[in-house]
Amino acid sequence: MAVPWANLFPFLLVVFWCSGHLETLAEDVLCYEKFDDTTGTCSDLLGGGVRLEDCCLNRQYGFRQAVGGQCRACRAAKWSEWSPWSPCSVSCTEGVQRRSRMCQGVNEGDCVEGKREWEMRSCLLQDCCPVPGGWSAWSAWSHCSVTCLKGVQTRKRTCTSPAPVCGGTCEGNGEERQPCDTRQICPTHGNWGNWGNWESCPATCTLEGSGQKPQKRRRRLCNNPSPSTAPPGNHCQGSDLDHQECVGLPYCPQNGNWGSWKVTSPCSVTCGVGRVVEKRQCDNPAPKHGGMKCQGEDVRHRPCVTGQPCPVDGRWLAWSNWGKCEWLGLGTGIHCQEIPGLQSRRRRCVGKAHNGKSCDGKISESRTCYNIEFCSLPGSWSNWSPWSLCEPPCGPNPVKTRQRDCKPQYPNYPMMVEGENGVMQDVHFWGRPLPSCEKLQGQSLKVEERAPCLNVPPCEEG
């Protein structure tokens, strides 16, 4: 008996994907314990040189193919969160903003890994653009800043001729300075500042029985104040250098050195890739006489591969559309009438693997409804909708749109009815009615306006 190709296609597709996927998974990667869906970044490095198929036994993990490379998720591919909106393309009048999202994950999922989507919208930070002002005339020069020797004098002007508009400014400085000479002499005699701190001893240790002790020293500066040069002031009297014997020096130290690493814990996980702990002792040799302890860490973590896949929980696909609103299977018996019917919808749980959890919740649901499919109803025009995103988000001549729709005026049917179990239930209108409105701008159902998006920057690469 011949087997239909349609029945074999899903099996052939899985074999083809798995064979191609396993070929990709043969490479060694940097394996990370955490992957952030929002930022697309990896954290908690388990180690390098891990086979990709081993790292992705746990689909909550992430990996990099090279140091500094892009972080990728092991789980089924899905869209990341939208990035924040970019700054407005102009600081005044109308401009645009863009944002994007990426498809992340190496396993088959809701989108194609690496694909990027863009959105663009209009923005307005300030209605007007800055207009610069003009400077007033300079004021007279001020008095000299000192009463002897040389100083400075200043003059000022204001940005008021005319004043700037909408946050504008005047180009240039509002103050000028020039040197001035009082032609008066001010001699200054020098005086010592405070002694500085003692310098470190020239030796850090001493040989036992040598009998010689090094000396440390300290300095002071003639700067409290410094003597003037024109006319010359008197220099400070005495020495600027002081000495003192170093006392209590220890014996010369012997630095420590590390012993070998030793494993001290089992693998931290039972599936995927985990960590083992290794420790070492500073005993090869140990430090003596104040010698330096060993530099670096005495504990480190290394990756360990269990070879066992981790559980993958199932996830719901989107609900199907609501089915037809019917009563006892008779699709036309309640059409356009005040008779409640029933309708249902379903969803599928996919992706469960390796003893993962099934999806929580119901696989199907039903609700009470009125069937108004293609029923003629009076209508009224809606208000203008908000402006849409700019389309295309990256390309020439993007535009935005808004619209008004002819909305149906639903019948005044009861919106709650008593169910079979005696509990009151909400009733929903189902179907696409045919509303009737007076014509608006020559249209019966929808009126649309289009406008260009202004001040659009060039598209980014990629």
> Domain map of the chain by residue range?
11-124, 317-349+357-452
Q: What is the pLDDT of residue 189?
A: 84
Cβ-defined contacts of 340-346 (< 8 Å, 24+): 340/368, 340/369, 340/370, 340/417, 340/427, 341/368, 341/369, 341/370, 341/371, 342/366, 342/367, 342/368, 342/369, 343/367, 343/369, 343/430, 345/319, 345/320, 345/321, 346/319, 346/320
Q: What is the pLDDT of residue 150?
A: 85
pLDDT tens readout for residues 150-185: 889 999 999 988 999 888 899 989 899 999 987 877
Give every residue of the chain whose pLDDT is below 50, as ranges: 1-24
Q: What is the pLDDT of residue 24?
A: 47
Instruction: State the Cα–Cα distance between residues 159 and 175, nearest whole angstrom.
Output: 11
- The first and second tokens of residue 65, run together, are 């193919």
Instruction: State the Cα–Cα distance between residues 166 and 274, nearest whole angstrom.
Output: 60
Q: Which helix (H) or strand (E) holds 23?
A: helix 5-24
Is residue 231 reached through a cis peptide bond, with omega within 30 degrees of 0 on the bond before it? yes
Q: Which of 374, 385, 386, 388 is nearest to 431 (CA)?
A: 374
